[in-house]
Structure 1
Amino acid sequence: MKKLFLLLILVCCFYSSCRDHGTLTIFYVNNISNHDVEISVFNAEIQSRGGAIDTTYVIPKNGRIEDRVSTKGDNDFSYFPFGNPDSAIIVFDNSLRIIYRRNDSNPRNILKIDSYSGGKVDDGLYEFYYSITEEDYNKAEK
């Protein structure tokens, strides 16, 4: 009986250690420009709101936003900031703007994970960083 009980405990421990705990991916966007910024993303799949929607984030000077994405697989991080929208517009001080589309090859495209620094922090946790800079402001247009 003791052997059966010990075997049952070992099986339970093994099962609980093999469970998929999921992965959290956090995308941080820092505004290090000298301007207030609004980021509008279109057709985004925001987990907390369900479905594809348009949404706007406001980032004051020296401010930051974060977008958290949970996935079911261990170490299966999200490749898509803002829920993989089809386009985004960054507006500086309610006047100048930069438009990014999902298919743009621009190396500063805020919709592409390749434009972010960072990566795996721990098992089940990834963090990526993007900074909006004064150089972005200088490239923005009316």
Structure 2
Amino acid sequence: MTPALKGTTLDGKHADIATMRGDVVVINIWGSWCAPCRKEAPELRKLAEKTEPLGVHFLGIDIRDNRTAAKAFERNFGITYPSIYDPGSRTVTGFKQLAARAVPTTYVLDKQGRVAALSIGPLTYQDFHPIIKDIAAENA
């Protein structure tokens, strides 16, 4: 099962994955300092936009970063989904053996909160859209 993921977003709001239970959730571990994260940001934005009608939620976890740089990253790449601000990288340890070992890492959680797909390194829309779509279609 998914770890308890909650915290304060870059915008100062509270985010809690528990409120997304029953839906497919894409969790992306990133940092503004990460070149591969900059490469994948437009792909994630497009995935979020195209899968929202399927009831898919996106949640970022910004690690080892400063708030100003992270907010600029989101603004520059047009990221509209929330990101938990986690400069100490504590949130990701809850994934235990699946904990992110590289940045970016992306998890797709099924409607039961289980890790159904995992990408280590930058993903592409073309490769990941069918995966998310299939997971969202399960038990639809």
TM-score bucket of the superposed structures, by smaller chain: under 0.3
Higher RCO (C-alpha 8 Å, min separation 6): 2
- Normalized per residue, the structure richer in helix is 2
- Normalized per residue, the structure richer in strand is 1
TM-score normalized with structure 2 length: 0.27
